[in-house]
Amino acid sequence: MPRPQTRTITLTIDGREVDAPENAMLVDAAKHGDVEIPVFCYEPKLGNPVGACRMCLVEIEGIGKLQTGCSTPVKDGMVVHTQTERVKEAQKSVVEFLLINHPLDCPVCDKGGECPLQDISFGWGGGISRFIEPKRHFVKPLELSPKIAIDRERCILCYRCVRFSQEISEDYQLVLLQRGAHSFVSTFDGHPYVAPFSGNIIELCPVGALTSRSYRFRARPWDIEDAGSVCTLCPAQCNVSLTVRDERVMRVLSREHSEVDDGWLCDRGRFAYPALAEGTGSNAGGDPTIEVREGNPAAGNGAVARGVRVGMRVSEPLLRDGGELRPVSWERALEEAAAGLKRAGAKTAALAGGGATNEEGFLLSRLMREALGSSDVDSRPGGALDLQLARELAAPSLQAKVSDLEFAHAVLVLDCEPIVDAPILDLRLRKGVRRHDMKLARASGDDLDALRDTARQLSQQGEELVILWGERFVAGRDGDERARALLDLAAELALGETDGAGLLEIPAASNGRGLRESGVLPNAGPGLSEPEAEGRDAPAIAAALAAGELSAVYLLEVDPLSASDPFAAGASADAGAGAAGNGTGAPAADSPWQDALERASTVVAHATLLSEGIAEHANVIFPAGSYAEKEGTVTHPDGRLQRVRQAVALAGSTRPGWQVIAELSQRLGVDLDVYNEKEASQQLFDAVSFYEGVTLEEIGGRGVRWQERVQAFATAGGGAGGTDSPAETPYSHGYTESAKADIQPTPSPAESEPNHQPYPSAQQHSGADTETHGADTDTEASDRDGPSSDPPGTEQRG
């Protein structure tokens, strides 16, 4: 569907000529001329303006009455006055009217200090009220829901929350009851407003009428700092702004990004943070989906006495000692972990998931491949996908963006449940259907013929078809076959050649795409390059552990026995238990991971919260930072590299994940040559061919889609639907001299070491000799030679 085209026009506001997009609403157009027109009810995200608050009245030459700037599209040559006596008088009177029934209890109001009503009263109001009669009264504050408190006296009836419920989340629960000055916001019958996106109305409220019950009275705006980051609780990776007070995250707000979240957050992202930061046991406002269980069946009394229990936040290393988990020093934990891994050597496997960043995944895969000589690393719960198929599925031309979901003629939802797997995309689909007449259908991978039929029918709506598919579509034994079918379908419908059409995969893990691209796959190196050696995928790892073929497992933010972990669901899906929702399926009682972890002699885990499986089976548990405590990059399902920024200090004695992995590697005899977050990121960008040249500054707060950066060579090399020769795909792209120069502005001191080891990223080899390296596997990574056939200009690091 064609995106709206905008033409620039010129209008005059307060005597100044202003260039603005044609048909933009006047309040938006005025911003182009640095003129602020105050608004309450207007919020472009909510759709068409309603013109209810009348705050934005302005004078337009040629029109007798004052007009609402929020609902007047600008036209060329329009002459607008916002500073005339008439306008000022009208705006002043609207403020006066609004304050008539407002309690003016700013000193005890949570909104005080960040309140549009305060700001506008100050900026456009008259300063004094002539109203001396009694105000309207309501009982207050009331629970609108378990998460939200409503103070109806403060409400200025701007309709924003009602419109959100009716037109954005489409849960149709909030309404205005009564009329006139007696109107109030409520659910129709007074039931609690419980909905997947209810928290957004708190942010929408321009006064202190809707407040977060978990944030109420916890801080004032002058106590807090905002820190931008990315929520990694699900693959949607919404941009968030964390409100920090005294090194604690007090609340999570949306940081609008039209290509990611459209300015909304789901309730999980908004309200689950305290549980993540403090554990479910210590915070009543925690996410109720995480079960609180006092005591740990596997831990003895001593452990319980020290507060080690399932659901708690892990903030110091834990070591299983005599069957009980006990807090220990870092030295002890690292020593034990290194010893355990060393004993197992190549018989070690690793899984990554959760909020693990690209850097952590990348370093984990280096640890495994270089220090332990094992390629048994995986981030796909449902098992490996043929590398060539994976590359074709990730072909830049085939990738749909999030905004394509909104403007496409049709979207086919395939084997995923957006509201569960990546909630914020659910809102995007609703927006497409409601505002752009997008057609929506769903299909299942269980019936490929039906899938093809549905897709073909949908393509009749227009050439822009997006297939939104869940990772579980390619999970399990038929994965390759299904992936092939999907690619064939995409080729048939020319999704790769059509702008605005394509495939968008929702991975099972929050950073599934990033971990795969960082090399956390058994059959691919960083950047989906040919691996030195192929290892076992997740189901095979489980089987091998259970069979004793593997003896150790490293779990990076994964607990395959925790109900909410994709690996648990992946295992059951693979066992043929049906397509369980990502993250929702409970592990089957006979989950293969039960046996696997039981038999494993060493289980090393990184965990934020102590979950059931880890509490029962891990030998060493390293505390992992929450996303508010981490620094690193993640990759959005549509290929957008985003930065996770540290907002608060790591809990307790937690150390950054990259540091722990690097330290372990050191103890196992391989120096990963990474001493800070930036170096970890730089190594990643160097290793992944299509991240090359990216800098953290470039990613910044808005992220960078790598497909857009590498489009030039992607269109020249890797075509839609993939090509047979890896040499022509971006995955085997070698460095160019100029790019390389950009990448390494400041060589680390270690680079001058003659025997410094390059990390084994196969894209450093030219495409022609990748195959020969398959056999050249050596468990002693330190013995591996640097590539001999680097393209000219590649900096030799070995």
Partner 1 sequence: MLLLKDIDEPGLNTLPVYEARGGYAALRKALEMTPADVLSELEASGLRGRGGAGFQMGKKVSFLPQGSMDKYLVCNADESEPGTFKDRELMQKNPHLLIEGIVIASYAAGADRSFIYIRGEYVLQADVLDAALAQAREAGYVGEQILGSDHSLSLVVHRGAGAYICGEETGLLDSLEGKRGNPRLKPPFPANQGLYQGPTLINNVETLSTVPAIMTMGAKQYAELGVQTSTGTKLVSISGHVQRPGNYEIELGIPAREIIYGLAGGPPVGSEIKCWFPGGSSAPVLTPDDLDVPYDFDSLAKAGSMLGSGAIIVVDDSTPIVELALKVAMFYRHESCGKCTPCREGTNWTVKMLQRIDSGEATPMDLDIMASVQDHIIGNCLCVLGDAMAMPIGSMIAKFRDEFEAHIEAARARAGLTLGSVPADEQALLAHGTS
**Contact in structure between 600 and 550 (CB atoms under 8 Å):** yes
Q: Which is nearer to partner 1, 176 or 494 (CB)?
A: 176
Nearer to partner 1, 108 or 182 (CB): 182
DSSP per position, 668-692 = TT------SHHHHHHHHHHHSGGGT
Of 41 and 546, which CB lies nearer to partner 1 in the complex structure? 41
Residue (68 or 633) nearer to partner 1, CB:
68
Q: Whole-number minimum distance, CB 128 to partner 1, in Å? A: 6
Q: Are strands 465-470 and 410-414 parallel, antiparallel or unpaired?
A: parallel
Q: How far apart are CA 490 and CA 361, in angstroms?
A: 30
Q: How far is 429 from 440, CA to CA, in rounded Å?
A: 8
> From the list 55, 224, 265, 687, which residue makes contact with partner 1 (rule: CB under 8 A)?
55
Distances (CA, A) of 375 to 122, 315, 522, 567, 760: 64, 30, 5, 18, 12
Contact string (CB under 8 A) for partner 1, positions 117-146, x = contact: -----------xxxxxxx-x----------
CA distance 661 to 338: 10
Residue 89 contacts partner 1 per CB under 8 A: yes
Binding part of the chain for partner 1, among 87-95, 224-232, 562-570, 788-796 by CB under 8 A, reads: 87-95
Write down the least CB distance from residue 159 to partner 1, Å: 7
Nearer to partner 1, 7 or 179 (CB): 179
- The whole-angstrom separation of Cα 241 and Cα 1 is 32
Q: Are strands 502-506 and 465-470 parallel, antiparallel or unpaired?
A: parallel
Burial class of residue 188 in the structure, from the number of CB atoms within 10 Å of its CB (0-12 exposed, 13-18 middle, 19+ buried): exposed
Element (H, E) at 332: helix 330-344
Is 62 a binding residue for partner 1 by CB under 8 A? The answer is: no
> Could you say whether residue 54 binds partner 1 (CB under 8 A)?
yes
- Taking alpha carbons only, the member of 599, 590, 547 closest to residue 572 is 590
Q: How far is the CB of 156 from partner 1 (least distance, A)?
A: 8
- Of 12, 93, 444, 461, the one binding partner 1 by CB under 8 A: 93
Is residue 279 classed exposed, middle or buried when 0-12, 13-18 and 19+ CB atoms within 10 A define those classes? buried
Alpha helices in 521-611 (DSSP H): 538-547, 566-574, 592-599
Cα 19 to Cα 13, 33, 414, 675, distances in angstroms:
10, 8, 44, 49
Which of these segments, 95-103, 198-206, 381-389, 741-749, binds partner 1 (CB under 8 A)?
95-103
Tokens 């029934």, residue located: 101
| 97 is an interface residue for partner 1 by CB under 8 A | yes
Under rule CB under 8 A, which residues in 460-499 are in contact with partner 1?
A: none
Give me the least distance between CB of 434 and partner 1, in Å please: 13
Nearer to partner 1 among residue 70 and residue 485 (C-beta): 70
Q: Beta partners for 674?
A: none
Closest approach of partner 1 to the CB of residue 133, in Å? 4
- Under rule CB under 8 A, residue 284 binds partner 1: no
Told to check if 434 binds partner 1 by CB under 8 A, we report no
Q: How far is the CB of 46 from partner 1 (least distance, A)?
A: 13
Site string (10-49) toward partner 1, x via CB under 8 A: --------------------------------------xx
**Region from 52-60, 197-205, 262-270, 762-770 binding partner 1, contact rule CB under 8 A:** 52-60
Q: How far apart are CA 575 and CA 588, in angstroms?
A: 9
Among 101, 375, 642, 764, binds partner 1 (CB under 8 A): 101
Please choose, out of 13-21, 151-159, 258-266, 347-355, the segment that lies near partner 1 by the rule CB under 8 A. Answer: 151-159
Give yes or no for residue 7 binding partner 1 (CB under 8 A).
Answer: no
* Alpha-carbon gap, residue 760 to 767, rounded angstroms: 15
Residue matched to tokens 């999030």 = 402
Q: Binding to partner 1 (CB under 8 A): which residues in 160-199?
A: 175-176, 178-183
Strands 439-443, 377-378: pairing is unpaired
Smallest separation (angstroms) from partner 1 to the CB of 93: 4
Q: Where does this chain bind partner 1 (CB under 8 A)?
A: 48-55, 57, 65-66, 68, 71, 89-90, 93-94, 96-98, 100-101, 128-134, 136, 156-157, 159, 175-176, 178-183
